[in-house]
Amino acid sequence: MPTSDEASPRPACRLSGYPDRRAPRLAAGGRGPQTGASMLYNLLTLIHVASIIVWVGGMAFAHLALRPAVATLEPAVRLRLMEDVLRRFFLLAGIAVLLAVASGLGMVGLAAAQVAETGGRFRMPLAWNLMGTFGIIMALIFGHIRFALFGRLRRAVEASDWKAGGVAMASIRKWVGINLLIGACVVVIAFLGR
């Protein structure tokens, strides 16, 4: 009967778990001892996942729970509340976006370095390419929401222009919905793309 190492024609990269033709074979069970690089990779993964939870989870809460709950409030009360909530959330989400991008790049860099150490040529898995591409798109959409659309909402609330505030809020809602959908796709890719 073949061992797990014999059954796998393409051993996995020690850090990422993704196949690489020239990666060294690992100890039984596919796990070697924790090295400094693998501990750093695990820390980056933790930061990455926690950032995505804050970012995508916050969008889901705001879009699917908070927005419908405040829909019955008078425009002045609703828009002031949403401006205050979004101001606080965008601060957290901005940090989460930066951490997600930085940790994602760090994980790719560590995996590439590990493959290069073995004499291999690093080829990013399709799932990573998709997640990275969608992540960049999401970050750009977040930037548009935060710096363009939210600015319109703030100015409308400061001027007590509830009609303009409603228009700005509708635009924010639309783009958050799009970003939430892309984020859900990224989560599916992350789990099914292994």
pLDDT at 192: 92
CB 83 within 8 A of CB 157: yes
Domain boundaries, the chain: 35-192
Sign of CA dihedral 78, 84, 89, 95: positive
Residue 15 has pLDDT above 90, yes or no: no
DSSP string, 20-88: -TTSPP-SGGG--PPPHHHHHHHHHHHHHHHHHHHHHHHHHHIIIIIHHHHTTS-HHHHHHHHHHHHHH
pLDDT at 33: 53
Q: Express each pLDDT in 59-89 by its tens digit.
A: 999 999 999 999 999 999 999 999 999 999 9
pTM of the model: 0.81
Residue with tokens 């909402």: 153
Exposed (0-12), middle (13-18) or buried (19+): which is 50, by Cβ within 10 Å? middle
pLDDT band at 160 (very low <50, low <70, confident <90, very high): very high
- Residue 109 identity: G
pLDDT band at 193 (very low <50, low <70, confident <90, very high): confident
Cα dihedral value 72, 183, 102, 136, nearest 10: -100
pLDDT at 18: 54
Query: Average pLDDT over the chain, rounded to whole?
Result: 87
Pull the structure tokens for residue 29: 């069970």
Exposed (0-12), middle (13-18) or buried (19+): which is 36, by Cβ within 10 Å? exposed
Sign of CA dihedral 20, 25, 26, 29: positive
pLDDT band at 194 (very low <50, low <70, confident <90, very high): confident
